[in-house]
Amino acid sequence: MNSLLIKQGKIVVHDSIIKGDIVINNGKISRIAPTIDAKVQPTLFLGGKFYVSPGLIDLHTHGALGYDFLDASLEGNRKIIDFCSSHGTTYLLATIGTAPTERMLKAAEAIIALKDDRIGGIYFEGPFLSPERKGAQPEQWLVTPSIDRYRELYAKTKGHMRILALAPELPGAKEIIHQALSDNVIPALAHSNASYEEAMEAIDQGIRHFTHLYNGMRVFHHRDPGAVAAALLRQEVTVELIADGIHIHPAVLKTVIKLKGIENICLITDSISAAGMKDGSYFFSGQKIIVERGIARLATGDSLAGSTLTLDKAIRNLLEWGISLPHAIKMASSTPARVLGIQHSKGSITPGKDADLVIFDQDLKVRAVLVRGRLVYNELEEASLALGGDQ
């Protein structure tokens, strides 16, 4: 569709919800107003029944539907992306967990080869992580930070590396942080046993993002607050939260919002291949995972192993926990867009930005998704799509 008029939507704009119309031209939002009479064809009539939000941005997802980006499968990658789209995600970072270097690079090649504009790049979760806080990352493939290893990963991913998660307290990490910043890669504190002091120093060195806050890091304690306290106190730091009610308690999430503000929080899924699947046995980075009641754990039982969460479910969870819809949407759109430096083109419903939009029903179930004005998912049975004219 070169042009589309969306009429009578409940539009999530900044901190409010307004009733109005949206005109899309050539993949961009061109106009928003309470009523637009322009004769644009076709026209999507929502009848005041549906919310229209910015497209959701997931910085951290490993897979879904039995597939993992680490599998290096073009077919699997397409299915992961389409699944994410069906749950409102219009832009994501394909996350590669820790594995042998050759396997990580092969996975990266398959992601790059897909050439899908819903993929914003690659998120490497490893291999420069702390064995003490490895979580579900396989210890046998963790390595001491090496600038040569980093340069190999960066060179062979051809500029597609967007975030590199590492433990900044490990020897050699500082040099990688400095080089990553020079390469326009975001270094993120992750799977780290850093003390409060070490985390504060890492922020001074250039760390501005923390991977799944609280998880995979030293436990917050009143006499040993660790990296968590550093993240909460430094306002230049953005953090990821997995809002499934399993990785963090709702009261903790609300505490982080109070201390950090929604503008510094990114909702992520950290979803693995079990997302969208039944309970059962799966694999993550070569390790057996058991999923029971939607909760993924290593078969050994000693760690959570990602999640089966989707971003639309995370938003519904936040509403149940007392967070407003505009604030929940912001944490899954404008904040991650700003983290990636793409806020000029994505993250809000603003004229001139990409027409990445999600249409939710009144129960906040995803009913349709547009990426750059292109309908990539559609379950709108109650809405009317007409070729211009009156409804």
Three-class secondary structure of residue 45 per DSSP: strand
CA distance 141 to 129: 10
Does an H or E element contain 12, and which?
Answer: strand 3-13
- Asked if residues 241 and 212 have their Cβ atoms less than 8 Å apart, the reply is yes
Of 118, 60, 45, nearest to 86 by C-alpha is 118
Three-class secondary structure of residue 202 per DSSP: helix
Does an H or E element contain 32, and which?
Answer: strand 28-33
CA distance 312 to 235: 27
N- to C-terminal Cα separation, the chain:
19
Residues 6+ apart with CB under 8 A from 119: 81, 91, 92, 93, 94, 111
Does an H or E element contain 336, and which?
Answer: helix 334-340
CA distance 74 to 137: 23
CA distance 287 to 169: 26
Of 26, 77, 69, nearest to 272 by C-alpha is 69
Active-site choice (71, 244, 270, 356):
270
Of 340, 360, 336, 361, nearest to 348 by C-alpha is 336
Catalytic status, residue 270: yes
Q: Could you tell me how far CA 96 lies from the centroid of its own chain? A: 13
Torsional sign, CA 381, 382, 383, 385: positive
Of 28, 35, 27, nearest to 11 by C-alpha is 35
What are the residue numbers of the active site? Answer: 270
